Amino acid sequence: MRNVKKQLSRFINYIKHPTYNKEKVHKFLYGSKEKEGFLKQFAVYALLICIGFVYLYPLLYMLSNSFMTLDDLLDSSINWIPSTFNLDNYVQAGNSMEFWSTLGDTVLVCGIPTIINVIICSIVGYGFARFDFPLKKVLMGLLIFTFVLPSQITMMPLYVMYNDYGLIGDIWSFILPAIFGQGLNAQIFILIFYQFYKMVPKVLIEAAQIDGAGYIKSYFRIALPSAKPAMLTVFLFSMVWYWNESYLTEMFVTGLTKAEESGWTTLMVKLQQFNANYSSMQAQQNTGVQINNNESIQMAGTMLSILPLLIAYFLLQRQFVESIDRTGITGE
Amino acid sequence: MAMSNEEKKVKKAAKPKKIKPGKIARRDAIAGVCFVLPWVIGLIVFKLVPLINSFQYSLARIKFTARGMKIEFKQFENYITMFTEDAEFPVQIVSYITQTLITAPIIVVFALIIAMFLNGKIRCRGLFRSIYFLPVIIASGPVMNMLVGQGATTIATIDSETITNALAAIMPEGFEGVTDAVADVFGNIITILWYSGVQILIFLSALQKIDSSLYEAAGIDGGSGWECFWKITLPTIKPMIVLNVVYTIIFRSNNEQNQVIVMIKDAMKGSATAKTSGYGYASAMAWVFSVVEVLIIGIMALLLMTRKDVYEKQIKRQKKLDKKEARAIRRVRRRDARNAKRKKAA
């Protein structure tokens, strides 16, 4: 207690007769050789926080708007915080998107090609990393070339081809390319695995072969277990990219011309067609109170379609963010 | 390939002289081809053959009859219509080019700056990283379309109109395109920031791999932070810059915010009888678009990669000199040996 009193009196004294050291203040503000100055640090933090806010701005906007009732939207005095905690928009949007069944579809449409992607890309990456064979350089060049090539250019012939085999409007139009290493962004994944297997010491695999393991066994026993981080990365990113892909999904899996026949759809495709779907649902129901489509409902729909991704990101953000460091996308 | 090692050993023991030196290498090569084979088949079936087909389509008009698809060859008609009769496509492709050329460098430079800040002694670096990475997860075509439609991607306080007007006053006539593009950048500042998540992380991890003793050595020699940036940081992360530029262009082009690819899809949906729709016309548009994109990427990559590393050059020169010296020494030794022999003989 006395100690506190002592310090307090010293503090009061200091305020009454300020005896600051000019050098010290300068050092504090501008920093020295060892320590960065307060001003610089303050500026850096301020900038980072500002940019962070800009990054989060659309998300916050979406979140706050999705809870607003129509009155709140029209009321100019309400900017950010809705007057009531209103979940109606979510119910409306969810109904119009048929949320649960679509979610199930989405998980299948994204999940199956993703798992195939992980398996095939790991095999192909191992082939490129471990072995030398003629034309290897040419094939690697083609790998990068197909990555640069936009998917639009091969879209029409593929559509015709799938149509001939009756694959349009079926999940097989995503699975089949994935089996042959041509899934969505498979080139990046092959390169990730390539980088990873390059880091596995060749001696290990050779030792296994001397001990009597064949090519396949040494791949499964030695190479594959050491590539777990790469597999996680590829799984996460493949999942996210398939989830976010609406262009090709709408074309192949949902089917461009026969969307009614096809049972497959994803949340992103539904979101793409949100406005049209919403009005048709309203026309069909025709009972009870009609709530017209408005901004809040659209925002709620958007929120619903990215909600699973957001949850996954908050649970696994470490793996997402660190994966780029670990897998050596950067090591090229 | 399936031969086990025991068998190999037995064979070796039985007739040791008949094994050729390249045998294991050849077997390895066959195994490698087997591992890569699925991808090679996929490459041919899903990429190369459609590529050729699509070029065929682009030279034709395609009609669907009861018996199937009918291809009528029309030579370059589609391409000519595209640039002479179609009102929208040339405009869209030009705006795509200017937008890409302007936004890609902005995104990469911005990502580099942010990564430099994060690279310092920053508390909560993980939190910032997570925030900057978030858009990578959620920024997809439909979501962006919704957000842009709602005006959620423009910050009200940035008055882009003033900037545009000021620019329009400064710019000489004939450069309206540049003004529009700059205005577009300010109008969609959040969209641009949102597309730099991966780039920031790539730069950050590259920066953290730079040996800190390099900076210490430069500091002892009197190099300022500014000099260190140009002489150490930038040359070291140069490959990452190329990678990021290519990555940015590809992902910006394949996004549904890009009006050109939306046009291609619409043309595909459209009726086959109209002159500016149908598969043939869509293929032609896709070809023009692809050539433009590949050209942009190629030019950007070449611009960034042309200057070779100074150190690499010096190392090469040094190696050449070393070889020359070694050769000279060998020659002298040989001559000495010869002389010694002759002396002995004499």
Partners of residue A182 in chain B, C-beta under 8 Å: 39, 42-43, 46-47
CB of A74 closer than 8 Å to CB of A294: no
For A190, the closest chain B residue by CA position comes to: B39
Q: Is residue B208 part of a domain?
A: yes
Quick check: B155 and A57 CB within 8 A? yes
Mutate to test the interface with A, among B1, B7, B36 (most CBs of A within 10 A): B36
List of E strands, B132-281: none
Are residues B271 and B339 both part of a single domain? no
Q: What is the pLDDT of residues A280-316, one digit of tens each?
A: 766 665 554 556 667 788 888 888 888 888 888 888 8
Q: Is residue B179 part of a domain?
A: no
Quick check: B5 and A317 CB within 8 A? no
Are residues B196 and B326 both part of a single domain? no
DSSP code at position A83 = S
Quick check: A154 and B46 CB within 8 A? yes
The answer, yes or no, to whether ipTM is higher than 0.85 is no
Quote the pLDDT of residue B323: 93
Mutate to test the interface with B, among A180, A184, A254 (most CBs of B within 10 A): A180
Q: Is residue B70 part of a domain?
A: no
Nearest CA to CA, how far is B177 from chain A (Å)? 26
Q: What is the pLDDT of residues B148-166, one digit of tens each?
A: 777 666 665 556 667 777 7
Quote the pLDDT of residue A332: 42
Rounded to an integer, the average pLDDT of B58-78 is 74
A157 vs B5, B57, B198: nearest CB? B57
A62 vs B51, B147, B290: nearest CB? B147
Q: Which of A112-126, B13-27, B279-293 has the highest mean pLDDT?
A: A112-126
Residues 6 or more apart from B267 whose CB is under 8 A from it?
A: B276, B277, B278, B281, B282, B285
**Chain A within 8 Å of B302 (Cβ-Cβ)?**
no
- Name the amino acid, one letter, at B205: S
A158 vs B28, B46, B149: nearest CB? B46
Are residues B302 and B314 both part of a single domain? no
Give chain B's mean pLDDT.
Answer: 80
CB of A152 closer than 8 Å to CB of B286: yes
For chain B, the domain total comes to 3
3-class SS at B22? Answer: coil
Are residues B195 and B325 both part of a single domain? no
Q: Which of B 189-228 lie inside 8 A of A, CB atoms?
A: 189-190, 193-194, 198, 201-202, 205-206, 208-209
**Structural domain containing residue B278:** 94-153+188-307
Centre a 10 Å sphere on the Cβ of residue B90 and count the other Cβ atoms it contains: 13
- Name the amino acid, one letter, at B210: I
Q: Is residue B271 part of a domain?
A: yes
Tokens of A96: 């119009």
Are residues B238 and B258 both part of a single domain? yes
Partners of residue B131 in chain A, C-beta under 8 Å: 52, 55-56
Nearest CA to CA, how far is B345 from chain A (Å)? 52
Lowest pLDDT segment from A184-193, B114-123, B135-144, B158-167: B158-167
For B64, the closest chain A residue by CA position comes to: A160
Q: Which of B 42-61 lie inside 8 A of A, CB atoms?
A: 42-43, 45-47, 49-51, 53-54, 57
**Chain B within 8 Å of A124 (Cβ-Cβ)?**
yes
Rounded to an integer, the average pLDDT of B81-86 is 80
Q: Is residue B332 part of a domain?
A: yes
Partners of residue A256 in chain B, C-beta under 8 Å: 265, 268-269
Confidence class for position B4, pLDDT limits 50, 70, 90: low
Q: Is residue B37 part of a domain?
A: yes
Are residues B330 and B293 both part of a single domain? no
Are residues B336 and B297 both part of a single domain? no
Give chain A's mean pLDDT.
Answer: 80
CB of B110 closer than 8 Å to CB of A214: no
Rounded to an integer, the average pLDDT of B305-318 is 74
B31 vs A61, A215, A244: nearest CB? A215
Partners of residue A269 in chain B, C-beta under 8 Å: 142
d(CA A116, CA A109): 12
Cα three-residue angle B1-A141-A228, rounded to 5 degrees: 60
Quick check: B279 and A160 CB within 8 A? yes
Quote the pLDDT of residue A331: 43
d(CA B111, CA B187): 19
Quick check: B254 and A151 CB within 8 A? yes
Partners of residue B264 in chain A, C-beta under 8 Å: 152, 155
For A208, the closest chain B residue by CA position comes to: B5
For domain A91-327, the question of CATH label 3.20.20.210 is answered with no
Tokens of A81: 């915080």
Q: Where are the domains of chain A?
A: 23-86, 91-327
Q: Which of A 29-58 lie inside 8 A of B, CB atoms?
A: 36, 44-45, 47-48, 51-52, 54-58
Are residues B206 and B338 both part of a single domain? no
Q: Which of A 175-204 lie inside 8 A of B, CB atoms?
A: 177, 179-182, 190
Q: Which of A 48-107 lie inside 8 A of B, CB atoms?
A: 48, 51-52, 54-59, 61-62, 65
Quote the pLDDT of residue B309: 63
CB of A95 closer than 8 Å to CB of A281: yes
Are residues B302 and B317 both part of a single domain? no
d(CA A120, CA A112): 12
Partners of residue B70 in chain A, C-beta under 8 Å: none
For A267, the closest chain B residue by CA position comes to: B142
Q: What is the pLDDT of residues A54-91, one digit of tens each?
A: 888 888 888 888 888 777 777 777 777 777 777 788 88
Q: Is residue B178 part of a domain?
A: no
Are residues B49 and B198 both part of a single domain? no
pTM of this structure: 0.79
In angstroms, how far is the first alpha carbon of chain B from the final one?
Answer: 62
Q: What is the pLDDT of residues B240-276, one digit of tens each?
A: 888 889 888 888 888 777 888 888 888 877 766 666 6
- Name the amino acid, one letter, at B279: Y
Quick check: A180 and B46 CB within 8 A? yes
Quick check: A154 and B47 CB within 8 A? yes
Are residues B10 and B149 both part of a single domain? no
Are residues B114 and B210 both part of a single domain? yes
Q: Is residue B297 part of a domain?
A: yes
Which phi and psi (to 5°) does residue A79 adopt?
A: -110, -55
Q: Which of B 159-188 lie inside 8 A of A, CB atoms?
A: none
Partners of residue B132 in chain A, C-beta under 8 Å: 51-52, 55
Confidence class for position B147, pLDDT limits 50, 70, 90: confident
Quote the pLDDT of residue A206: 83
Residues of chain A with pLDDT under 50: 288, 330-332
Nearest residue to B144 via CA among A59, A242, A256, A185: A59
CB of A208 closer than 8 Å to CB of A115: no
